[in-house]
């Protein structure tokens, strides 16, 4: 899906600027990208967000969302390693995707999905995003829905 840790955050795009729900999505995304060895930690994180049953159900909706992104992206998506304070444009887009699904903003949801995956997979990503967004609501995690300001297209290594 992605290259890890190669993008520096443009000024004003830092993980600390996200609300708690957005940081949770970012953490889950980065943790899952680290591979199979982190799946227990990911499961535990979802369970700690609420309770074992609701957390496991939310985790079950995260996996298809991640898989659609991982298998149908139309270009390399750039993500940082889990502890990095930076926020790539692609990470922001993925967080905004879920926020749009929670807000019911279908036009924005479709627009963001089209920037991340091949046209044939947009429907899959929309459906997975809605499911994941709903599960996050059951955990009491509500994303802000505010759109990130556009950042520069070029990136630099760090």
Q: What is the DSSP string of 115-149?
A: HHB-GGGHHHHHHHHHHHHHHHHHTT-----PPPP
pTM of the shown model: 0.84
Handedness of CA 158, 69, 17, 28 (dihedral sign): negative
Q: What is the pLDDT of residues 81-112, one digit of tens each?
A: 988 999 999 999 999 999 999 999 999 999 99
Q: What is the pLDDT of residues 127-153, one digit of tens each?
A: 999 999 999 999 999 998 665 544 433
- Any idea what the Cα angle at residue 25 is, between residues 153 and 74, rounded to 5°? 45
Q: What is the pLDDT of residues 3-45, one digit of tens each?
A: 444 444 444 579 999 999 999 999 999 999 887 778 888 888 8
Characterize 81-90 residue by residue with b for buried, 16 or more Cβ atoms within 10 angstroms of its Cβ, and e for exposed.
Answer: ebebebbbbb
Query: What was the pLDDT predicted at 156?
Result: 39
Task: Please report, for the chain, the start and end positions of each structural domain, with discontinuous segments joined by +.
Answer: 15-138
Distance CA 79, CA 103 (A): 24
């Amino acid at each position: 899906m992605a290259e890890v840790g190669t993008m520096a955050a443009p000024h004003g795009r830092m993980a600390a600027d996200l609300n708690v729900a957005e940081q949770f999505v970012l953490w889950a995304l980065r943790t899952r990208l680290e591979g199979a060895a982190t799946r227990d930690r990911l499961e535990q994180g979802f369970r700690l967000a609420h309770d074992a049953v609701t957390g496991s159900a939310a985790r079950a909706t995260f996996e298809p969302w991640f898989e659609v992104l991982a298998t149908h992206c139309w270009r390399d998506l750039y993500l940082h390693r889990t502890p990095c304070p930076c926020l790539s444009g692609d990470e922001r887009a993925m967080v905004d995707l879920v926020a749009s699904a929670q807000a019911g903003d279908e036009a924005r949801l479709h627009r963001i999905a089209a920037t991340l995956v091949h046209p044939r997979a947009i429907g899959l990503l929309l459906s997975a995003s809605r499911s994941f967004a709903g599960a996050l609501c059951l955990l009491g995690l509500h994303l802000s829905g505010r759109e990130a300001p556009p950042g520069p297209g070029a990136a630099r290594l760090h």
